Structure 1
Amino acid sequence: MTAPVAPGRWPFLGHTPALLRQRFAFTSSLHEHGEIVKLYLGPAPTYFVTSPRLAHEVLVTAGPKFRKGAMFDKFRPFVGNGLVLSNGDFHRSQRRLMQPAFHRDRLIAYAEIMRRAAAALGDSWRAGEVRPVDEDMQRLAVTIVGEALFSTELGKEAIAEARRSIYLIIQQGMIRALSPKFVEKLPVPGNRRFDEAITRMREIVLAVIREWRADGTDHGDLLSTLLLAGMTDEQARDEVLTLLTAGIETTALALSWTFHELGRHPEVEARVHAEVDEVLGGDPVTAENLGQLTYVRQVVDEVLRRYPLWMLMRRTLEEVDLGGVRLPEGAEVIVSPHALHHDPASFPDPTRFDPGRWAPDRAAEPPKGAFIPFGAGNRQCIGNRFAQNEIVITVATVAARWRLVPLPGHPVRVKFTSAAYPDSLPMTAVPRR
């Protein structure tokens, strides 16, 4: 059995906002052509999985038959063979070594880093001040991940370098991953800035690792966990770069869009404020009362549904029967969280922002594979609990003190790279008390 072929070729080359919006619309419409759609990424055939059922099979039940796909291969020369990019036995070994860094006791310690950083951000605002909320959330996400990773003086320099370089690395890296190989050789400013940024990040991370080797003390940070687990300098460097790139973008975007949606929906904002006031009672959020912020978590889940990653790529390690379609060994397969999260069969009225769809007393959970903000299976993001806690803690900490009000006459538009970014997000900081 062969997969249906989508009409035309994938609008992949080029990176203007109009073309990127076209890609999102294109991928979201592919379910109309079947559960598996064969299309062409340049000259190469690619199989696009459109149903939750088969997405779950690719990511979970048949996961061992797949490895990371072509897009991830193009990142490896720049950020190394960290957990997001590695495959096979090496990936399983690295994941086991990293798992203790995300155990419950560590998450409790990280929660205080998150609360302290979010509180410091709120302290820096002034009543009536217009804040670039997207930029504030980017800096906050770098601070939180950086302080969880590094606790030494040299680590502070690494955090400063991450603030300077990490978003350039993420966005220019995605452009490279979606472009023909010759593009990265072109003598253009974007390529030069990317090469310089990734070189600086590698050097400062290695310097922090060598400082730790000379000291050998467990500082209670993520880096100590990696090195005490027996990783080499190169392995630890790759995992640190992976955590910086993969652990910052999703949370910064989710926080930006959360405050945007709260500003657009006063009734949702009022419920968030009421729950925060009731649960916290004026005290700081802690790891112990985090689980009581149930409505805040509904809001966060709805943001993660509305603004997820564009796509995940896999490559078959052997011939695979997927939904009755025989995929040859080496076939490139794409699963789009964005398309799955906007499928009306799983999420009625999918463009409507509705935290209530996650309420316990509402309809049954969406089918397996329909909601995958952090991936699924043995490749699910190892830091998903870290990220979810970070978002909820930040929202609760800010909402206890501030309202962020949209700027009149300023429409917020979406710009697309690997995920949906706001083009700019100015909001006025208004004290609640």
Structure 2
Amino acid sequence: MPVPVAPGRWPLLGHTPALLHHRSGFTEGLHAQGELVRVYLGTLPAYFVTSPELTHRVLVTASASFGKGAMFDKFRPFTGNGLVNSGGAFHLRQRRLVQPAFHHDRVASYTDLMKTAVSELCESWEPGEIREINDDMRALAVTITGAALFGTELGGPAVEEARRSIPVVIRQGMIRALSPEPVGRLLVRGNRRFDQAVTRMRAVVGEVIDGWRARGDDRGDLLSMLLMARDEHGAPMTDEQAYDEVVTLLSAGIETSALALAWLFHEIARHPEVERRVHAEVDEVLGGRAVTYDDYARLTYTRQVVNETLRMYPVWILMRRTLEPVELGGARLPEGAEVVVSPHALHHDPRNFPEPHRFDPERWAPERVGEVPRGAYVPFGAGNRMCVGYSFALLEMAVTAATIARRWRLRLARPVEVTYTSTAYPTRLSMTATPR
């Protein structure tokens, strides 16, 4: 079956100008062309899937036929062959080594760490003060991720370098991923900044790993678990493999969590009824005390707000590459074909979520959650490549929301400023903190 080509293709540049200029607006409209649409990244053809059914096939049921795509190749200089980029037997081995660090009991043990970090942030606020919440949430994510990953001050320089370098890598890496190949080889400022950030991160994370090797003790942090883990043959990770996984966890733990938390408070402030219900639930469940892990399951509506935030503000696109000829949506794709999945487009498709641009936590009420089509909601991916730290992220968002809501009300001080790279970034989210 012929695959329709998306409108707006330029000679040589393909759809790259439309993707970089219109971003999510371009990808949201592709479902009108069909459930499989051809998009050109420069001269490189890519097959964009627009339906939950095809998404589930690519990410879950036929995942063995797909490896990581061109977008991940662009980020490989930074994240190496970590879980985000690796495939096949090596990916399975690494996932088995990393997975115990995110076991239920291990994740639950980080509740106090999260609670303490959020409480310290709350203590720094003054009544009536205007806070840049995007900066506060990034600082909070840095603190929580750094403490969970490194445990002690040993990892301080690595976390600070991650704060500096990760936004640069994500922004420039996305431009590289969507641009024709020659652009990535040009000695332009963006590419130099990307390469310099990679070099700095490799140096500082390498020092942290060397420091742990010199001591070799279990400090109860994620890094200790990674470096002490052994595969079925008794072999540990090499320093290079450990670096790749550490940088992957830093990137996801800082940037992704910070963005989601910033948007969560933005949406609560924009919707008074949502705010009222969050505050009422927090007051009832906590009764004025600090949150514990046992409270997590009882914060039902707060978790609905978390889920709706992740629906509204997910990653823009993911890419896969066929490892063999694959039948997809009635078309026969050859080995080596690039396939694109857009969590953002799926989450904003009215066929999956009526009134998709309306913030509605009731979509995730226990009696309604079953209405969501399989494959339509993928904030953490799906299948054997689903984000290994998703449970940590969900807990972090709920603990942060409950801890702040117990003591403070946040009001928008001015319209939010937004930029778009791998997702929507609130470059300036000014909010006034008012004690409850």
Q: TM > 0.5 between the two?
A: yes
> One-letter code of the match for 1:383?
G
Tell me the TM-score normalized by structure 1. Answer: 0.95
Deviation at 1:253, TM superposition (A): 1.1
- Contact kept? 1:130, 1:428, Cα under 8 Å: yes
Q: Distance in 2 between matches of 1:366 and 1:404?
A: 31
Q: 2:254 aligns with which of 248, 262, 282?
A: 248
Q: Distance in 2 between matches of 1:78 and 1:163?
A: 14
Superposed, 1:264-303 pairs within 5 Å as 264-303=270-309
- Unmatched tracts of structure 1, length 5 or more: none
Q: Distance in 2 between matches of 1:222 and 1:4?
A: 46
Aligned residue for 1:343, secondary structure, equals coil
> Are residue 322 (structure 1) and residue 328 (structure 2) matched?
yes
- Contact kept? 2:155, 2:208, Cα under 8 Å: yes
CA offsets, 1:139-163, max 9 Å, x none?
1112111111112332122222222
- Contact kept? 1:83, 1:95, Cα under 8 Å: yes
> Are residue 308 (structure 1) and residue 314 (structure 2) matched?
yes
> One-letter code of the match for 2:111?
A
Instruction: Report the equivalent of 1:397.
Output: 403
CA offsets, 1:32-54, max 9 Å, x none?
11111122221121111000011
Comparing 121-130 and 37-46, the one that deviates more: 37-46
Instruction: Report the equivalent of 1:45.
Output: 45
Aligned residue for 2:81, secondary structure, equals coil
Comparing 299-308 and 137-146, the one that deviates more: 137-146
> One-letter code of the match for 1:337?
P
Deviation at 1:19, TM superposition (A): 6.3
Alignment root-mean-square deviation, CA: 1.6
> One-letter code of the match for 1:425?
L
Instruction: Report the equivalent of 2:338.
Output: 332
Instruction: Report the equivalent of 2:29.
Output: 29
> One-letter code of the match for 1:57?
R
> One-letter code of the match for 1:251?
S
Instruction: Report the equivalent of 1:220.
Output: 220
Deviation at 1:282, TM superposition (A): 1.3
Q: Distance in 1 between matches of 2:24 and 2:158?
A: 35
Q: Distance in 2 between matches of 1:172 and 1:140?
A: 24
Give aligned-pair identity as a percent: 65
> Are residue 68 (structure 1) and residue 72 (structure 2) matched?
no
> One-letter code of the match for 1:237?
Y
> Are residue 193 (structure 1) and residue 169 (structure 2) matched?
no
- Contact kept? 1:67, 1:315, Cα under 8 Å: yes
Deviation at 1:166, TM superposition (A): 2.5
Aligned residue for 1:353, secondary structure, equals coil
- Contact kept? 2:43, 2:180, Cα under 8 Å: no
> One-letter code of the match for 1:268?
V
> One-letter code of the match for 2:96?
R
Deviation at 1:21, TM superposition (A): 5.5
Q: Distance in 2 between matches of 1:159 and 1:257?
A: 22
Instruction: Report the equivalent of 1:377.
Output: 383
Superposed, 1:226-237 pairs within 5 Å as 226-229=226-229, 230-237=236-243
> Are residue 429 (structure 1) and residue 430 (structure 2) matched?
no
CA offsets, 1:214-236, max 9 Å, x none?
11101111100110012111100
Q: Distance in 2 between matches of 1:290 and 1:193?
A: 41
- Contact kept? 1:54, 1:323, Cα under 8 Å: yes
Aligned residue for 1:422, secondary structure, equals strand
Aligned residue for 2:47, secondary structure, equals strand
Q: Distance in 2 between matches of 1:303 and 1:205?
A: 31
- Unmatched tracts of structure 2, length 5 or more: 230-235
- Contact kept? 2:19, 2:26, Cα under 8 Å: no
CA offsets, 1:295-351, max 9 Å, x none?
001001111111111111000000011122111111100010011001111101111
Q: Distance in 1 between matches of 2:200 and 2:187?
A: 19
Instruction: Report the equivalent of 1:417.
Output: 421
Aligned residue for 1:400, secondary structure, equals helix
Deviation at 1:12, TM superposition (A): 4.7
- Contact kept? 1:2, 1:326, Cα under 8 Å: no
Deviation at 1:406, TM superposition (A): 0.6
Deviation at 1:413, TM superposition (A): 4.0
> One-letter code of the match for 1:427?
M
Aligned residue for 2:110, secondary structure, equals helix
CA offsets, 1:111-158, max 9 Å, x none?
222111111111111111100001111111121111111123321222
Deviation at 1:245, TM superposition (A): 1.2
Tell me the TM-score normalized by structure 2. Answer: 0.94
Instruction: Report the equivalent of 2:232.
Output: none
- Contact kept? 1:305, 1:341, Cα under 8 Å: yes
Q: Distance in 1 between matches of 2:385 and 2:367?
A: 31
Q: Distance in 1 between matches of 2:16 and 2:349?
A: 25
- Contact kept? 1:21, 1:416, Cα under 8 Å: no
When residues 226 and 284 of structure 1 are mapped into structure 2, their CA distance, relative to the original with a 3 A threshold, is same
- Contact kept? 2:325, 2:335, Cα under 8 Å: yes
- Contact kept? 2:260, 2:309, Cα under 8 Å: yes
Deviation at 1:194, TM superposition (A): 2.8
Superposed, 1:94-243 pairs within 5 Å as 94-229=94-229, 230-243=236-249
Q: Distance in 1 between matches of 2:140 and 2:213?
A: 28
- Contact kept? 2:77, 2:198, Cα under 8 Å: no
Q: Distance in 2 between matches of 1:12 and 1:129?
A: 45
CA offsets, 1:282-303, max 9 Å, x none?
1111111111111001001111
Q: Distance in 2 between matches of 1:144 and 1:179?
A: 34
- Contact kept? 2:171, 2:421, Cα under 8 Å: yes
- Contact kept? 2:418, 2:426, Cα under 8 Å: yes
Instruction: Report the equivalent of 2:57.
Output: 57
Q: Distance in 2 between matches of 1:377 and 1:8?
A: 33
> One-letter code of the match for 2:279?
H
When residues 175 and 142 of structure 1 are mapped into structure 2, their CA distance, relative to the original with a 3 A threshold, is farther
Number of aligned positions between the proteins? 427
Comparing 178-187 and 272-281, the one that deviates more: 178-187
Aligned residue for 1:423, secondary structure, equals strand
Aligned residue for 1:284, secondary structure, equals coil
When residues 12 and 392 of structure 1 are mapped into structure 2, their CA distance, relative to the original with a 3 A threshold, is farther
When residues 295 and 363 of structure 1 are mapped into structure 2, their CA distance, relative to the original with a 3 A threshold, is closer
- Contact kept? 1:9, 1:41, Cα under 8 Å: no
